[in-house]
Amino acid sequence: MIDEEKIQRAVKMILEAVGEDTEREGLRDTPLRVAKMYSELFSGLHRDPKDELEVYFNEDHEEMVLVRDIPFYSMCEHHLLPFMGKAHVAYIPRKGRLTGLSKLARVVETVSKRPQLQERITSEIADAIMEVLNPHGVAVVIEAEHMCMSMRGVRKPGAITVTSAVRGIFRTNEASRSEVLSLIKKGL
């Protein structure tokens, strides 16, 4: 589990290291606040995205389901700065294995709440859905802005990174892949 005491000590050390007075009013509770914040932002480290999908319905729908524009916030593992944007998750369920729409957003949430790479979030979402629901196909597209590219370093605010992961029929069948990508694009 997350060691909030340790985070507090570390944050205090960072503040001291940059030359701040950790006893001044505004900073006194900052280590505690940051510890609570990291507990929340990294809570996905202690959850398995596959658990979110264990609820599914015995419905016969075997056509595409797409949840578009799922907002997410994550933390880049290189700089511990946020990156944020939208995830689009599509799948073609197998007979009897239709999951709840909110469960797709919960998978996004769980894998985002960790020190992450955008590419890894994308493939972890696709793989969790493939593993639990064994659908005909999964397509995940993520578009995000990285604060480590906006507010520091190369300083290119507004640059958007787009990543995708396709599995099953979306990988093998070009027509299916074009269909899902055009449905996702309609909302861009």
Q: Which is nearer to ligand GTP, 39 or 123 (CB)?
A: 123
- Catalytic residue status for 118: yes
The identity of residue 146, as a single letter, is H
Taking alpha carbons only, the member of 141, 129, 136 closest to residue 183 is 141
Q: How far, in Å, CA of 52 to CA of 102, rounded?
A: 9
> Which of these ranges, 38-46, 68-76, 94-102, 135-143, lies near Zn ion under the rule CB under 5 A?
68-76
Which of 1, 17, 154, 175 is in the footprint of ligand GTP by CB under 6 A?
154
For residue 51, what are its two tokens? 């658990």
Q: How far, in Å, CA of 123 to CA of 168, rounded?
A: 13
Q: Which is nearer to ligand GTP, 4 or 143 (CB)?
A: 143
Q: Any known ligand binding at 136?
A: no
CB atoms within 10 A of CB 96: 12
Sequence-ordered list of residues with C-beta below 8 angstroms from that of 72, at least 6 positions apart, any chain: 84, 85, 86, 87, 108, 109, 112, 121, 142, 144
Subset of 72-91 contacting ligand GTP (CB under 6 A): 76, 78
**Using rule CB under 5 A, residue 120 touches Zn ion:** no
Catalytic residue among 16, 77, 119, 131: 77
Phi and psi at 95, nearest 5°, equal -45, 125
Which of 148, 150, 161, 179 is in the footprint of Zn ion by CB under 5 A?
148
**Using rule CB under 6 A, residue 27 touches ligand GTP:** no
**Using rule CB under 5 A, residue 78 touches Zn ion:** yes
Catalytic residue among 76, 88, 109, 116: 76
Build a one-symbol-per-residue string for 111-140: x at contacts with ligand GTP by CB under 6 A, - elsewhere: ------xxx---------------------
Phi and psi at 123, nearest 5°, equal -75, -30
- Catalytic residue status for 88: no
Taking alpha carbons only, the member of 52, 90, 53, 54 closest to residue 169 is 90
* Cβ contact 144:84 at 8 Å: yes
What residues are designated binding site for Zn(2+)?
A: 76, 79, 148
By the criterion CB under 6 A, which residues form the site for ligand GTP? 76, 78, 117-119, 146, 148-149, 153-154
By the criterion CB under 5 A, which residues form the site for Zn ion? 76, 78-79, 148
